[in-house]
Amino acid sequence: MGLLSNPNLKYSMNPSQTLSELKKNIEGEIFQEDEILRFYSVDASLYQIIPKMVIFPRNEKDIIKIIKFANKTKMSVTVRGAGTGLVGNSLNTGIIVDLKNMNSIKESKNSVRVQPGVMKGELDSYLKKRKKFFPPNPSIGAYCSIGGIIGNNASGSRTLKYGSTIDNISEITFIDGKGKKIKLPSDKKFGKKILELSKKINLSEYPKTSKNSCGYRLDQIKSINDTHKILVGSEGTLGVIVSAKLEIRDIPSKKILFIIEYNSVQKAAKNCLEIRETKPSAIEFVDKQTLNNFKFKFKKNTNCLLFVEYDSNLSSNEKKLCKIAKTRKLNKINSESKIQQWWKYRDLALSYSLKSIKTKDRVPHIIEDAAVPLEKLGELFSLIEYINKKFQTRSVMYGHAGNGNIHVRIISNRKNIRSLQKISLEYFDKVIKLGGTITGEHGDGIARSEFIEKQYGKKNYLIFKQLKKTFDPKKILNPGKITDYTYGLKNLEVP
């Protein structure tokens, strides 16, 4: 499945002279070979866009020179981490900047300063030796880059207790669209511009959810000291991140995990509200189709599961949970190795869903990441059932139930891809009316940028455009995402 080129970008590059100058001036490598361009034309989504070149910068100076080159030649610059994004966040037609060479880690007492090319798995191993951890834990976390994690405002199973990336970061250094190096929140002059825009937004249009990766998070900018957070979830559209200070925590000494069996998703949703009051570190959900892949014998009428984990007050929380679960089958796991095995089952939910869907029935990720206030979770499940009946589709569901964030994999013949537009419009309209967000953690990318104005309203959307202009006046940074949607379902080519 492919995507058309971006017709709004016009290039003025002199192929021999200007590019030759760039090659001489940077330490990194530049590639234009077809096989390299094709490799970087795809990611973990079903989209494809072939870039003009791929550059591997060595340092900040390289990035500044690349951005100045892009301004001169009117090319786009799209930063790429590990390419694990599900909605085409890091695909574009101009220059792809792979930051894998910028991968240093420096630890202080309760924080760690990292460059964007560090892999989450590397960071986890580094911190584990020091009995520390960085809370956001995407399902394929080991294979994500820190730059991508910041760009998407990644979360994971333990967001319920520890928050998303935006809640665990205290400083960001980046290169803006003019090639200027900026550090936030210490750059007060630049920070004031962001703060002024944050004061203009209509907060009532923002979702009432505990997770949100849609648009720009101006709602999180309460003072100058918060201004670095605007880069979190911005998908490389505001600047190229060159380093970040992440907040780290002590690894809990003990954990306990409960697997609760339910014969109804509605009963599971209702229980989530009560379970949340016991302050678990995680409440995760998987449906019947997913649990069928687990090597465990469940009751015959089990229709879904909740994973409930605690990492503090284990004894008292177990008693509280037993009262809430009542007669339901409750499987207790307190061995560290077995807890890890069960989490591996949960983390493989995306893989299991792909195995269960034939290639011809796989359609692009669009509605797969909505989140609603937890009290509306049952209504979200009902909405998914309604969508399947109305559009004659099927679905696989799993996700972060404690945050009201359910991942939905639609199963439909890809030849009927045009119906996705109707499904998306109806689904997102109802999710927004429930006080929800169209994306809880995966970001907007190609899949959802065209729906951002619907999420936030015209006034907030115009403020987003002002913000974009402040950071990137010539719109060279990852165009087609968030504040414009050159790409979208209308551009898809169906094989």
Domains within the chain, CATH numbers bracketed: 2-100 (3.30.43.10), 105-250 (3.30.465.10)
Interatomic CA distance for residues 13 and 166, integer angstroms: 37
- How does pLDDT run along the chain (495 residues), one tens digit per residue? 454 444 444 444 454 567 888 999 999 999 999 999 999 999 998 889 999 999 999 999 999 999 999 999 999 999 999 999 999 999 999 999 999 999 999 998 899 999 999 999 999 999 999 999 999 999 888 899 999 999 999 999 999 999 999 999 999 999 999 999 999 999 999 999 999 999 999 999 999 999 999 999 999 999 999 999 999 999 999 999 999 999 999 999 999 999 999 999 999 999 999 999 999 999 999 999 899 889 899 999 999 999 999 999 999 999 999 999 887 888 999 999 999 999 999 988 878 776 767 777 677 778 999 999 999 999 999 999 999 999 998 899 999 999 999 999 888 876 666 788 889 999 999 999 999 999 999 999 999 999 999 999 999 999 999 999 999 999 999 999 999 887 655 555 544
Give the pLDDT confidence score for residue 16 in this predicted structure: 54
Which pLDDT value is given to residue 365?
Answer: 76
Task: Please report the pLDDT score of residue 5 as a whole number.
Answer: 46
pTM: 0.94
Q: 483: which residues sit within 8 A by CB, 6+ positions away?
A: 237, 449, 452, 461, 464, 465, 468
Q: What is the predicted pLDDT for the residue at 384?
A: 96
For residues 467 and 75, what is the distance between their CA atoms, to the nearest angstrom? 21
Look up tokens 């803006």; give the residue: 176
Burial of 336 by CB count in 10 Å (0-12 exposed, 13-18 middle, 19+ buried)?
A: exposed
CB 473 within 8 A of CB 483: no
